[in-house]
A and B are shown apart, each in its own frame.
Chain A
Amino acid sequence: MDPLIQLLAINSNRSTAELAGILSLTEDEVRRRIAAAEADGTILGYNAVVDRQKAGHRGVTALVEVKITPEKEGGFDRLARRIAKFDQVRECFLMSGGYDLAILVEGKDLLDVANFIAEKLSTLGGVLSTATHFQLKAYKQAGFLVNANADEERLPISP
């Protein structure tokens, strides 16, 4: 992977100057390459990884296993893309194993998610069945430990 993209994938909150310093590039070069990666879709977007409980978010999230019928032309793609377009769907992956799509659905409460699955998702032509698992508690998100105990302090000066 391009080292610049690799750095941004770990932490997109670095300044252009900092990235330029790390990679021994000029700031203009860093800006140009980021703009190019955004334009060609290598960089899809930027999110902060938020501990939602701490941030006061009261919504619910569910992992939904979806079985669908592949189409003669395009296989799973067309239907998967249709499902992914719903705002309630945060993530959508084609999976190997016992079901076809794993989707992460967010709603303001249980009923909201249930309505989405019953009324929008299950009723789509080609959707055979769904199994919904509600998230209860987060321990790790996007590579970050939630509520991690800070590492033991190091001595401020050591040989």
Chain B
Amino acid sequence: MRNVFPSVHDSILSSIYQSLPNLMDYSNKLCTQIQDLPRSGIRDFFELVIGRSDVISLGVGEPDKSTPWPIREAVIRSLEKGQTSYTSNLGLEPLRVLISEYVEKQFRVTYDPKTEILVTVGVSEALDLAFRAVLNPGDEVIYHEPCYVSYSPSIKMAYGVPVVVNTREENQFALMAEDVEKAITPKTKVIALNFPTNPTGGIMPAEELEKIAALAVKHDLFVFTDEIYCELLYDGRQHKSIVEFPGMRERTVLLHGFSKAFAMTGWRLGYACAPAPLREAMMKVHQYCMLCAPIMSQIAGIEALKMGASAYEEMRQSYEMRRNIIVSRLNGMGLHCFNPGGAFYVFPEIRSTGLTSKEFAIGLLEKKSVAVVPGTAFGAAGEGFVRCCYATAPELIVKAMDLMEEFVNEVRG
């Protein structure tokens, strides 16, 4: 029988091994394409904040509540029953049926649960699958900045070429069709959209969306639309997705998930809806690299969709109130901040302080222990802005705003 206890001899050897210098030169061994990807600006900032317990953070990108209890309870029950197996690569069929119904209600577009829906590990995976399914090396993807951190790297990892179009504060961070048109070349294959947008809270006016849809049809492009914040709209607005316009269903990959509306970020559950040939191509990548989304997350998703709007309407209302507080406080301290129509972020302009985004965020953290994220973490177009998440208790928002006001006054002297 093998001796499971290491002998004195083994432990001496092991300590000798550990003290030897590591002679491997990783810079020559790692994939150059990955080495060339920039580090996420979020991660740099995260490292400044982590380990500090005194910080009021407006730097998160997720709801401040745990997943609604009925969803958690359904998963506990499923674990008690022993539901711990793989599922179909596509995802559990009852979940796909519910997704189809939910999407039809939300976007007025019908998808066949058998051939046109794929359950994924968050929208991030779905987006990656979509890029990998359609891009050949050198194909261009038009996307808008400031945006969620993974668009450009995901395009590059699929050997595509990211082509950025900036959204601007003067347009309330909506994407202008004329700017998109200027970026279209014969190599353009995809336009990627995400409205409401992280980090700006910007939304798309229907008329601008219609013009972009017409461009996609005219130039025969795909559109990937990330709808992750579509439930979180304020001031009585109704969401409109680009997939609803004529000629769009056949060229659109609709990406959605459970993270934001259902407060399920850690479950990593999303889905893609797309015409059958596209779904099939995405499914090939998914089955080899992921197999399936975790079954407990899928069961949580079933319960979430059964709850529907009742799971998030109260949270949506409370976000709207918090948005009102934070927007009025920011403008009150002289940081110009437009009133965002969706998501749970505000993107105030901090240029009047004379600081860069990074200087502002680091100064605020060091002097007042309030964390916000520099706008540049979301692309160069974010310079002059910081992202504040208001999915935080109102009393903490008020306290953070008091401290930020002190900071701004001190900087301005």
Question: Which residues from chain A contact B329 at a C-beta distance below 8 Å?
Answer: 21
Question: Which residues from chain A contact B49 at a C-beta distance below 8 Å?
Answer: 156-157
B42 touches A159 (CB 8 A): yes
Tell me whether A131 is interfacial, beta carbon within 8 Å. Answer: no
Question: Which residues from chain B contact A159 at a C-beta distance below 8 Å?
Answer: 40, 42, 61, 148-150, 198, 377
Contacts A18-B394, A151-B65, A152-B66 given; does A157 touch B324 at CB 8 Å: no
Pick from B52-60, B163-171, B250-258, B350-358 the stretch touching chain A. Answer: B52-60
Question: Which residues from chain A contact B321 at a C-beta distance below 8 Å?
Answer: 7, 22-23
**In the complex, how many angstroms separate the beta carbon of A69 from the nearest chain B beta carbon?**
42
Question: Which residues from chain B contact A157 at a C-beta distance below 8 Å?
Answer: 42, 45-46, 49-50, 57, 59-60, 371, 373
Mask: chain B, 193-236; 1 = CB below 8 Å from A; 0 = not: 00000100000000000000000000000000000000000000
Query: B52: nearest residue on chain A (CB-CB)?
Result: A156
Would you list 25 pairs from A and B whose C-beta atoms are within 8 A, ordered by A residue? A7-B321, A18-B325, A18-B398, A21-B324, A21-B329, A22-B322, A22-B324, A23-B321, A23-B324, A151-B66, A155-B60, A156-B46, A156-B49, A156-B50, A156-B59, A156-B60, A156-B371, A157-B46, A157-B60, A157-B371, A158-B59, A158-B62, A159-B42, A159-B61, A159-B150
Tell me whether B313 is interfacial, beta carbon within 8 Å. Answer: no
Q: Which of A4-38 contact B (CB under 8 A)?
A: 7, 14, 18, 21-24
Q: Could you tell me the distance between the alpha carbons of A158 and B198 in the complex, rounded to whole angstroms? A: 12
Mask: chain A, 93-109; 1 = CB below 8 Å from B; 0 = not: 00000000000000000
Interface residues on B, range: 20 to 34
Query: B328: nearest residue on chain A (CB-CB)?
Result: A21
Q: Could you tell me the distance between the alpha carbons of A48 and B1 in the complex, rounded to whole angstroms? A: 67
**In the complex, how many angstroms separate the beta carbon of A83 from the nearest chain B beta carbon?**
35
**In the complex, how many angstroms separate the beta carbon of B407 from the nearest chain A beta carbon?**
18
Q: Which of B66-115 contact A (CB under 8 A)?
A: 66
A155 touches B64 (CB 8 A): no
Q: Could you tell me the distance between the alpha carbons of A65 and B66 in the complex, rounded to whole angstroms? A: 37
Tell me whether A72 is interfacial, beta carbon within 8 Å. Answer: no
B57 touches A156 (CB 8 A): yes
**In the complex, how many angstroms separate the beta carbon of B389 from the nearest chain A beta carbon?**
9
Contacts A18-B394, A22-B321 given; does A158 touch B55 at CB 8 Å: no
Contacts A18-B394, A18-B398 given; does A155 touch B328 at CB 8 Å: no
Taking Cβ atoms with an 8 Å cutoff, the residues of B that contact A are 40, 42, 45-46, 49-50, 52, 55, 57, 59-62, 64-66, 148-150, 198, 265, 321-322, 324-325, 328-329, 371, 373, 377, 394, 398
**In the complex, how many angstroms separate the beta carbon of A101 from the nearest chain B beta carbon?**
32
Q: Could you tell me the distance between the alpha carbons of A18 and B200 in the complex, rounded to whole angstroms? A: 24
Give the secondary structure class of B's interface.
mixed
Tell me whether A58 is interfacial, beta carbon within 8 Å. Answer: no
Query: B56: nearest residue on chain A (CB-CB)?
Result: A156
Q: Could you tell me the distance between the alpha carbons of A151 and B42 in the complex, rounded to whole angstroms? A: 24
**In the complex, how many angstroms separate the beta carbon of A139 from the nearest chain B beta carbon?**
13
Tell me whether A57 is interfacial, beta carbon within 8 Å. Answer: no
Query: B47: nearest residue on chain A (CB-CB)?
Result: A157
- The 9 nearest A-B residue pairs measured at CB: A157-B59, A157-B46, A156-B57, A22-B321, A158-B61, A156-B49, A21-B325, A159-B149, A151-B66
**In the complex, how many angstroms separate the beta carbon of B43 from the nearest chain A beta carbon?**
8
Question: Which residues from chain B contact A23 at a C-beta distance below 8 Å?
Answer: 321, 324
Tell me whether A154 is interfacial, beta carbon within 8 Å. Answer: yes
Contacts A156-B55, A156-B60, A157-B57 given; does A22 touch B325 at CB 8 Å: yes
**In the complex, how many angstroms separate the beta carbon of A24 from the nearest chain B beta carbon?**
6
**In the complex, how many angstroms separate the beta carbon of A2 from the nearest chain B beta carbon?**
14
Query: A20: nearest residue on chain B (CB-CB)?
Result: B328
Q: Could you tell me the distance between the alpha carbons of A154 and B371 in the complex, rounded to whole angstroms? A: 13
B64 touches A154 (CB 8 A): yes
Q: Considering residues A23, A152, A156, which has the most beta carbons from chain B within 10 angstroms of its beta carbon? A: A156
Q: Could you tell me the distance between the alpha carbons of A6 and B178 in the complex, rounded to whole angstroms? A: 45
Q: Could you tell me the distance between the alpha carbons of A69 and B62 in the complex, rounded to whole angstroms? A: 56
**In the complex, how many angstroms separate the beta carbon of B53 from the nearest chain A beta carbon?**
10
Contacts A18-B394, A18-B398, A152-B66 given; does A158 touch B324 at CB 8 Å: no
Question: Which residues from chain B contact A152 at a C-beta distance below 8 Å?
Answer: 66
